[in-house]
Amino acid sequence: MTATLPASVPGATRRADRREASLLRRLLTQPSSALALVSVCLLVAVALGAPLITWLTGTSPTAFHSEAVDPALGGLPRGAAGGITSAHWLGVEPGSGRDILARVAYGARVSLLISVLATAISVALGTALGLAAGFFGGWTDAVIGRVMDLLMSFPSLIFMIALISAAPGVNRQLLLVVVLGFFGWPYVGRLVRGQATVLARGEFVAAARVLGASRRALLVREVLPGLTGPVLVVATMSIPNYVATEAGLSFLGIGVQPPTPSWGQMIAAAVPWYAADPMYFLIPGAFLFITVLAFNVLGDAIRDALDPRSRR
Amino acid sequence: MILYALRRLAVAVVILLVICGATFAIFYLMPADPAQGACGKACSPERIAQIRTTLGLNHPVLIQFRDYLAGIVAGRSYGTGAQAVTCPIPCLGFSFQTNEPVWGLLTERLPVSVSIAVGAAALWLAVGVTAGVVSALRRGSVWDRAAMVAALGGVSLPVYFTALVLQYLLVVKAGVLPYPQAVALTDDPVGWAESMLMPWITLAMLYAGIYARITRGEMLESLGQNFVRTARAKGLPERTVLRRHALRPALMPIVTIFGMDLGALLGGALITESAFGLPGVGKLAADAINSADQPVILGVTLFAAGFVVLANVAVDLVYAALDPRVRAVG
């Protein structure tokens, strides 16, 4: 989703490729960002390979395993540490006996899918509107600026909840993507606007204008490429935000609906059991924490790599 | 300055009106029927029709919205004749579940939310800013690295997860704290602090990380400025240089973010309150959502937005008082 140069400019594409290669090398040379990158790749692998995992372990995220829980103990998993056995690698849910690994893996799919799509929406909207505000200035800037201020002063969590709970029949995951993306774009827009204002005053833009470049060409060829770096950083930083918000909404019971598993929903389901079976909330919680942390570290590292000034 | 303040307030009122309109539109244009919600599941068509008349749902949406706004500033009464129910200023309607006035519910729950927000804010401000300053002064040291790793970890911790871990460790395993419950500060100060300690730590872990990172960045920025070099060159003691010349400008952005964060939390820490089962404004919202209690959801949204918008105004005014350039531009 990050804005790259149009493919019709061969020289520029090669330049962008080179820059991406050097960015990757920088990320891999630092232990913290390399670890974060590996974690993110592993998470994506778990999410994509969820069906493979359940095939290997012979379970499914929705299958009940009554033999794995002990009715005499109120439905607590049989065995130590939340029922970790060779059949259930991360244990089972108390009560229903559903396999936690299968649910966590399928939960990763939901979580990553929603946050990546929401990021795509907020980055697309934020870049387009921020670019327009910064480049054209004047009335365009005033109107877009006010809308951004307004959206940022909304109590967005409560508002999202109100919006979602007022639309019962709608596909919940789609609604989450749209709502998260919609409330997220002003943060991208504000950054892009600032950057675009600076770039639009640049000498290279003036030169292109003198050479007779159309407005469209100025926007797309001169200003937009300069935004790649900041937009990449803000996109990486918004993914963990959306992962956390989606999980929070699901924790409150208005995010992803059962039977589709989600990490926040699993933690909410674990609340009544937290004293007797702490593994039940620790496992989805740990996945959530590691995901958010890995993306945060990665976002920091990309920012430092692209902007040496911020590396202190 | 007064003109600036008035203009800022006018903008705030407009923002609140837009938020009010948007929230209102969501509820009254969406498929769920408020009259059905007010009446419950087993309800005769006549009763629904009667409720529609009483709540004014038979009027066009714009008239309903006007009545709602009028209710906030002037109060209103539902129904006519002997059955009329008056709703005093500021009227946000009545809960579908309990039939209590929404404003009463909000003010009743507010002390819990304020207790959580103010205590947590004091904690994260102290920890976050101190950690950030020390990190900036000892840049690259073991302390700096450890603090920044901890800060990033804190930022990444979901509140409800921290809440469960703390409850498991402190209440179940160690038994040093009681289960959180609403204790009024005036009734039992010690019990109040004990029951609030876990929510405070939970929120502070999240926010202290953010504040430490910002403080460190700003502090490094200002330490590199010419005025700090000048202050040192004048031979001022290092303490004075740091406190008066380096820390002060570094704290300006912190003031902005602090105002907004505190404003947002005063209107209810939704997830934290739900996770600990504390009856604040946020828990009220969560409960209202689960029972589709529309007037309460509408009321909480406006109430919370009011705090956010007021905090914005307050921050802008503090800024304008500190920095005259803001007044000229704004």
First to last CA, chain B: 11
pTM comes to 0.82
**Rounded mean pLDDT, A91-99:** 71
* pLDDT score of A89 more than 90: no
Q: What is the DSSP letter of A77?
A: E
Distance from CA of B192 to the nearest CA of A (A): 23
Residue A58 has pLDDT above 80, yes or no: no
Residue B26 to residue A163, Cβ atoms within 8 A: yes
Residue spans of the domains in chain B: they are 2-102, 105-329
pLDDT at A305: 79
Quote the percentage of chain B above a pLDDT of 90: 3
ipTM above 0.90, yes or no: no
Position A28: which residue type? L
- pLDDT at residue A52 is higher than 60: yes
Looking at residue A76, the DSSP 8-state letter turns out to be E
- Of A90, A97, A91, A98, nearest to A70 by C-alpha is A97
A225 pLDDT band, cuts 50/70/90, is confident
B39 pLDDT above the threshold of 70: no
Most confident of A161-170, B10-19, B64-73, B116-125: B116-125
Using 50, 70 and 90 to split pLDDT, how confident is the model at A122?
very high
pLDDT value of residue B261: 85
pLDDT at A6: 45
Interface test with A, best of B13, B138, B156 (most A CBs within 10 A): B156
Distance (Å, whole) CA A50 – CA A37: 20
How far does the CA of residue B239 sit from the closest CA of chain A (Å)? 23
Helix H, strand E, coil C: the string for chain B is: CHHHHHHHHHHHHHHHHHHHHHHHHHHHHCCCCHHHHHHCCCCCHHHHHHHHHHHCCCCCHHHHHHHHHHHHHHCEEECCHHHCEEECCCCCCECCCCCCEHHHHHHHHHHHHHHHHHHHHHHHHHHHHHHHHHHHHCCCCHHHHHHHHHHHHHHHCCHHHHHHHHHHHHHHHCCCCCCCCCCCCCCCHHHHHHHHHHHHHHHHHHHHHHHHHHHHHHHHHHHCCHHHHHHHHCCCCHHHHHHHHHHHHHHHHHHHHHHHHHHHHHCCCHHHHHHHCCCCHHHHHHHHHHCCCHHHHHHHHHHHHHHHHHHHHHHHHHHHHHCHHHHHHC
Which residues in B lie closer than 8 A to residue A255 (C-beta atoms)?
Answer: none
Asked if pLDDT for residue A295 goes beyond 50, the answer is yes
pLDDT in tens, B45-102: 777 777 777 776 777 777 777 878 877 777 777 666 666 667 777 777 787 777 788 8
Work out the burial of residue B53: count CB atoms within 10 Å of its CB; fewer than 13 is exposed, 13-18 middle, 19 or more buried: middle
pLDDT at A121: 94
Residue with tokens 């705090």: B307
pLDDT tens-digit profile of A140-196?
888 888 888 888 777 777 778 777 777 767 778 888 898 889 988 888 888 888 888
Q: At residue B218, does pLDDT exceed 50? A: yes
Contact B211, B132 (CB under 8 A): yes
**How many residues are present in chain A?**
312
Judged against a pLDDT cut of 60, whether residue A257 lies above it is answered with yes
pLDDT at A311: 47
**pLDDT (tens digit, 9 = 90+) per residue, B146-172?**
888 888 888 888 888 888 888 888 877
A60: pLDDT strictly greater than 90: no
pLDDT of residue A119: 93
Distance in angstroms (rounded) separating the CA atoms of residues A251 and A259? 14
Query: How confident is the model at residue B35, as a pLDDT?
Result: 66
Touching B: A residues 133-162, CB under 8 Å: 149-150, 153-155, 157-159, 161-162
On chain B, the residues whose CB falls within 8 A of the CB of A285 are 158, 161, 164-165
User: A69: which residues sit within 8 A by CB, 6+ positions away?
Assistant: A75, A76, A77, A78, A83, A92, A94, A95, A96, A97
pLDDT in tens, B256-303: 888 888 888 887 788 888 888 888 888 888 888 777 777 888 888 888
Of A159, A254, A293, the CB nearest to B152: A293
Contacts of residues B94-101 at CB distance under 8 Å and 24 or more positions apart, as own/partner, are B94/B295, B95/B288, B95/B293, B95/B295, B95/B296, B96/B34, B96/B37, B96/B38, B96/B291, B96/B292, B96/B293, B96/B294, B96/B295, B96/B296, B97/B288, B97/B291, B97/B293, B97/B296
Amino acid at A243: V
Q: What pLDDT shows up at residue B222? A: 83
Question: Per mean pLDDT, which range of A17-26, A248-257, B218-227 is the poorest?
Answer: A17-26
B304–A158 CB contact, under 8 Å: yes
Mean pLDDT calculated for residue range A76-97: 66
CB B24 within 8 A of CB A159: no
Q: Which residue type, as a one-letter code, is found at position B184?
A: A
Chain B contact for A251 (CB, 8 A cutoff): yes
Please give the radius of gyration of chain B, using alpha carbons only, rounded to the nearest integer: 24
Percent of chain A residues topping a pLDDT of 90: 6
Which of A39, A43, A153 to mutate: most B Cβ within 10 Å?
A153
Residue A258 has pLDDT above 50, yes or no: yes
Q: How high is the mean pLDDT of chain B?
A: 80
The neighbouring-strand residues paired with A99 are A92
State the nearest Cα–Cα gap between B81 and chain A, in angstroms.
Answer: 33
Q: What is the mean pLDDT of chain A?
A: 78
Kindly calculate the radius of gyration of chain A based on its CA atoms and give it in whole angstroms: 23
Cβ within 8 Å of residue A280, ≥6 positions away: A82, A91, A93, A94, A100, A266, A269, A270, A273, A274
A271-294, pLDDT tens digit by residue?
777 777 787 888 888 889 999 999
B320 vs A265 pLDDT, higher one: A265
pLDDT of residue B291: 78
Enumerate the residues of chain A whose CB falls inside 8 A of the CB of residue B288.
none
- The size of the A-B interface in CB pairs under 8 A is 121
pLDDT at A308 exceeding the cut of 60: no
Q: pLDDT category, B246, cuts 50, 70, 90?
A: confident
Q: Is the alpha carbon torsion for B183, B184, B187, B193 positive or negative? A: positive
Q: What's residue A86's pLDDT?
A: 64
Q: Are A220 and A5 a contacting pair, CB within 8 Å?
A: no
Fold of B105-329: MetI-like fold (1.10.3720)
* pLDDT at position B84: 64
Please say if the pLDDT value at position B103 is more than 90.
no
pLDDT, position B124: 92
